Amino acid sequence: MRISAIPILVAVFLWPTAVFGQSPELMDAYDKSWGFYGERRYQEAIPFAREALRLSEYELGADDLSTAGLVSWIGLLYQANGDYGEAEIYFNRDLAILESELGSKHIDVARSLGNLAVLYRNQGRYADAEPLYLRALAIREMVHEPEHPDVASSLTNLANLYLAQGRYAEAEPLYKRALAIREKALGPEHPNVATSLNNLAVLYRAQGRNDLALKHIRRASAIHRGRAVLTGAGRGAGGLGLCKACHSAYW
């Protein structure tokens, strides 16, 4: 098994780093796919990504971890292009490679599970997404300490899924635990703490608990103002109009 530097891409896109051992042709195709992605020209990016994958399979092997990274990247491109069926095929292949090469409880498997869960969530396939989020959470809790920020991310992913289904009683303790982890691990003024506060505000507003929603969104907005990172859309969010920068479905 060879581990090289093409990143195993996840739901939050990672910019490529220097890669050693791959041919110039492979890297040229890879770079071109990134260039088209950056311009949101997903349909044009896909052929170059697939050419990079073909070369990686030839040069490194179908089950190499760099190959898995390209498989995942193609899945993300198909998803961005709205071709969910193709995306699912590539995400499942990526997951199978990682489980085979790294074992079913490796942290990179959790990221791959997250990609597939996001795909299902975006299609409204909540019943398919839930066990993947639960499994990713279990892996992160096992690999990391219980108060690691990555655990907070998995808790939030699962809570967001429950929120989308109106399962508010199940979402609330997950959001609260994620907030507590982030406050302890990152500090009370960190932007990710603001994200957790805003997530709770969204939940409380959906329940009609407007006083609690207002309390949380004001604190979230104060954090962002203090760090001078509020966008124009979020500036002045003192009421129940929530800052878009604060709430993310993938935190």
pLDDT mean by block of 10 residues, the chain; 251 residues: 36 39 89 96 98 95 95 97 97 97 96 97 97 98 94 97 97 98 96 96 97 95 75 44 41 36
Q: Superfamily for 144-251?
A: Tetratricopeptide repeat domain (1.25.40.10)
Q: Domains of the chain: which residue ranges?
A: 1-102, 144-251
Given this model, what pLDDT does residue 95 score?
97
In angstroms, the Cα distances linking 120 to 20, 41, 109, 116, 225 are 34, 23, 17, 6, 35
Given this model, what pLDDT does residue 132 score?
98
pTM (2 d.p.): 0.82
Structure tokens at 123: 């299609």
Given this model, what pLDDT does residue 145 score?
87
Given this model, what pLDDT does residue 122 score?
94
Instruction: Specify the CATH architecture of the domain 1-102.
Output: Alpha Horseshoe (1.25)
Task: Measure the CA–CA gap between 39 and 232, rounded to whole angstroms.
Answer: 23
Identify the DSSP state of 40.
T
The DSSP code sequence of 142-158 is HHS-TT-HHHHHHHHHH
CATH topology match: 1-102 vs 144-251? yes
Letter string b/e over residues 16-50, b meaning 16 or more CB atoms within 10 A of that residue's CB: beebeebeeebbebbebbbebbeeeebebbbebbb
Task: Measure the CA–CA gap between 232 and 217, rounded to whole angstroms.
Answer: 16
Amino acid in position 213: A
Structure tokens at 41: 């020209």
Contact 240, 217 (CB under 8 A): yes
Identify the DSSP state of 247.
-
Task: Measure the CA–CA gap between 248 and 162, rounded to whole angstroms.
Answer: 14
